[in-house]
Amino acid sequence: MMNIFKSLTAVSLVLALSSCSSDDDTAAPLEELESETVTNLYAPEIGGRVEPSSGDFTKFDFETGSETTSETDWDVAFRSTTILVNGGSKTGITDEPERTADAAVYIASGTLASITEVDTSLFAQDTTEGPAIAIGSGNGWYNYTGEPYHLIKPIPGTILVFRTSEGKYAKVEILSYYENAPEEPDGLSDATPYYTFDYVYQPNEGITTF
């Protein structure tokens, strides 16, 4: 099952900003950035390989920081190595959820710490051409190493920046595709697809920095 560790709570703009704007007493205090680690988010598919893949996507909501079965209140959905966003249109693959919101995503190059600003011009949504996070090895978030290790490796330096269904922002670094995120996964024996990722969620409306 999925575990959510409410681990680190980030340093925040809150203190800094509130101290700067102390003379403006009417402004609501900003909420703190939420830095979380999600482990073992299980996102299996039915079929795959030579068969067409099918099966429900595992949906995730940044606001609650947890997996959800809601048809509408979700931001990102996973199935095997495919990642969808709750915005745009259906891509045409089997059993994909309806897009009910205006969520979007782009891939930034950097570390989770180095991506401090959202570039709203880069956001893309799923289309009939395919998901905004392109599928396939080397195109989106992972590389498949092939012979002899057969590993799915999240591409280092790939940060997924999201606009959520509620119009807020989050940045995600996927760390592992294997159960319990082993330090040295074995492509042939370790279980997949179990997503482990770090994310930072900006809970404040309209703020595009992390």
Partner 1 sequence: MILNKYFLSVFFTACFTLNSFTQENKALVEPDSSEVLNEVLITATRTKRQLSALPLPAQIINKETIQQSGAMRLGDILAEQTGLITVPDFGGGEGIQMQGLDSQYILILVDGVPLVGRSAGTLDLNRISVGNIQQIEIVKGASSSLYGSDALGGVVNIITETPKKDWHGTLNYRTGTLNTHDLSLNTTYRNDKLKLSLFGNRYSSSGYDLTPQNALQTVEPFSNYTAQVKLAYSFSTATTASLSTRYYSQNQDYKASESLQGESNIEEWNAHFKLNHQFNSAWSSSLELYATQYQTDEYLNDIADAALTSNGFYDQRLLRPELRVRYQPNTQEAFIAGTGYNHETLSRTDFSESPTFNSAYVYLQYDATYFEKLNVIAGGRLDTHNVYATQFSPKVALRYPISNSIAIKTSVGRGFKAPAFRQLYFDFTNATVGYTVLGYQAVPTALAAMQERGEIANILIPVSSFDDELKPESSINLNLGVDYSFSKRLTFSLNVFRNSLTNLIDTRIIATKTNGQSVFSYTNINESYTQGLEFNFTANAIKNLNISGGYQLLYAKDKQAEAAFEAGQIYARSAANSPAFALQKSDYFGLYNRSRHSANLKLFYNIPQYRMNANLRATYRSKYGLSDTNGNGYLDRYDRFVSGYGILDFALTKNLGKHLQVGVGVDNLLDFTDAQNITNVPGRLLFGKLNYQF
- Footprint of partner 1 on this chain (CB under 8 A)? 45, 47-53, 80-82, 91-94, 109-112, 114, 129-130, 134-139, 142-143, 145-149, 151, 153-158, 173, 175-176, 181-185, 196, 198
* Rounded least distance, CB 135 to partner 1, Å: 5
Decide whether 169 or 199 has the Cβ nearer to partner 1.
Answer: 199
Decide whether 71 or 186 has the Cβ nearer to partner 1.
Answer: 186
Contact between 189 and 179 under an 8 Å Cβ cutoff? The reply is no
* Rounded least distance, CB 195 to partner 1, Å: 12
Decide whether 13 or 200 has the Cβ nearer to partner 1.
Answer: 200
Decide whether 109 or 116 has the Cβ nearer to partner 1.
Answer: 109
**Distance in angstroms between the alpha carbons of the first and the last residue of the chain:** 29
* Rounded least distance, CB 210 to partner 1, Å: 15
Give the separation between CA 3 and CA 5, rounded to whole angstroms. 6
